[in-house]
Amino acid sequence: MSNVNKVVLAYSGGLDTSVILKWLQDTYQCEIVTFTADIGQGEELEPAREKARKFGVREIYIDDLKEEFVRDFVFPMFRANTVYEGEYLLGTSIARPLIAKRLIEIARETGADAISHGATGKGNDQVRFELGAYALNPDIKIIAPWREWDLLSREKLLAYAERHGIPVEMKHKQGGSPYSMDANLLHISYEGRHLENPAAEAEEDMWRWTVSPEKAPDQAEYLDIEYANGDPVALNGKPMQAAELLAELNRLGGKHGIGRLDLVENRYVGMKSRGCYETPGGTIMLKGHRAIESITLDREVAHLKDDLMPRYASLIYNGYWWSPERKALQVLIDHTQAHVNGWVRMKLYKGNVIVVGRDSKTDSLFDANIATFEDDAGAYNQADAGGFIKLNALRMRIAAKLHNR
C-alpha cells in the first residue's frame, strides 16, 4: 500500500491491537515489530507475546516501564497538583508520552520506518501518540488504522477477529462488546457501552480496583506519607521506590473506596465524552501533596502554581508533554519543590481522604509564635494591619468618592 517496510506497533494484545496487527500485515505487506509496555496495568503480558508469535512476529518487545512511568512522568505531573477540568487526574494522558518515546526508540533500534497505534480517529490518544512521536522524530511515518479502515465499531472488530481466528477475552456477560478500557499504575478508565448515555449510572460490577464506599471498612485507616523535593518517598516510615509506593497507595485507596470518578470531559478534537475512572493512589497523592505544600510553599509561589496548573494540565491532556512550553513550565514547577519536604498524615474512610496533620522539620513556614491566638509576646504588631488595610483600600476609596458624589 506504500513504501513502508517495517512498522513498530504499540501492541496490548487486546481486541483493537490484535486486529490491527493482522490488518497491517494484510494491508501493508510489511514486517511488524510489536511493543507492549508494562506500566502497571496488572495484566499478564505473556499472552500478548504468544499472540504476536502466532501471527509471525519475530521482534517482540515487552518492556517493564513501571518505575520510569511513575518516577519520570506521574511524579513530575503531581508536583504541579495537576487536574484537568477540575476533576480528572490524567491517568491515560500521562502514559502516552512514555509510550511514544519508547516507540521511537524501538523504531530506531530495529530500523523501522513507521510506527502504528490503536487510537481511534475520534479520541485524544491519536493526538498524544503522534505529537510525541513527531517531537522525538520529525520524519517518522505514522499509521493510524482507525483513520483508514472501515472497521468503525467494536462489533465489526469482533467479527473481523472471529474471521481471522483472533482470540478475544472479556466479552461482556450480556453478550455485547467489552468496555473500552485503559489501565496503568495511576488509573483505570472505562468508556463505551451504556456509559455513552451520560444519564445512566455505571454498573457496580464495572469497577475493578475500588470497593464501593458503602462496602468499605467501617474503621478509618491512618496513613503517613513522607515527601522529599515534592515527591512521596515513604509510607508509614517505610522508604519505597516510586512504582512500589504508588501500587501500595492504590491498594489502600481501593480498600477504602477512594478515587472513583464519573466525568463528562471535553476532548481535544472537540466532542464531549463520558468516562469513568478509578485513581485511588493518585487521589491520595494529590491531597497529600497539597497538604505538604501548604506549610512549605510561599503564598505567592503557591498561588502562581495554581494559576499555571490548568494550562499545564491542558498541555498534558492534549498531548504536548514533549513541547518546549511544557518543559519550561516543568523547570519552574520543579524549582518550587526544593523545600517541599516533610510528612502528611491522612485518614482514609469510605471514599474520603482527610488530612489530619502535616509537618516539616526543615522547611515549614508555619510560625506558631506569629499565628497564635494567644499572647505572641510581640512577634506580630496588630496595629500594623491598619495601615496595610488603608493602603490596599486606597484605590477603592478614591473610586467611591468619585462615583458617590
Q: How far apart are CA 391 and CA 249, in angstroms?
A: 48
Beta strands in 135-291 (DSSP E): 141-143, 180-183, 188-191, 221-228, 231-235, 238-239, 260-266, 272-278
- Name residue, grid cell 501471527: 55
How far apart are alpha carbons 182 and 168 in whole angstroms?
16
Burial class of 55 by CB neighbour count within 10 A (0 to 12, 13 to 18, 19+): middle
Task: Give the cell for residue 388.
Answer: 496595610
Cβ(98)–Cβ(326) below 8 Å = no
Residues serving a catalytic function are 16, 96, 125, 180
Q: How far apart are CA 305 and CA 246, in angstroms?
A: 23
User: Alpha-carbon Rg of the chain, whole angstroms?
Assistant: 25
Q: How far apart are CA 18 and CA 48, in angstroms?
A: 9
Please name the residues in contact with 5: beta carbons below 8 A apart, sequence gap of 6 or more.
30, 31, 112, 113
Copy the grid coordinates of residue 224: 503517613
The separation between CA 64 and the C-alpha centre of its own chain, rounded to angstroms, equals 18
The three-point CA angle 120-124-127 to 5° equals 90
b/e map 201-221, b = 16+ CB within 10 Å: ebeeeebebbbeeeebeeeee
146 CB contacts (<8 Å, ≥6 apart)? 118, 119, 120, 121, 126, 152
β-pair partners for 342 = 227
CB 213 within 8 A of CB 257: yes
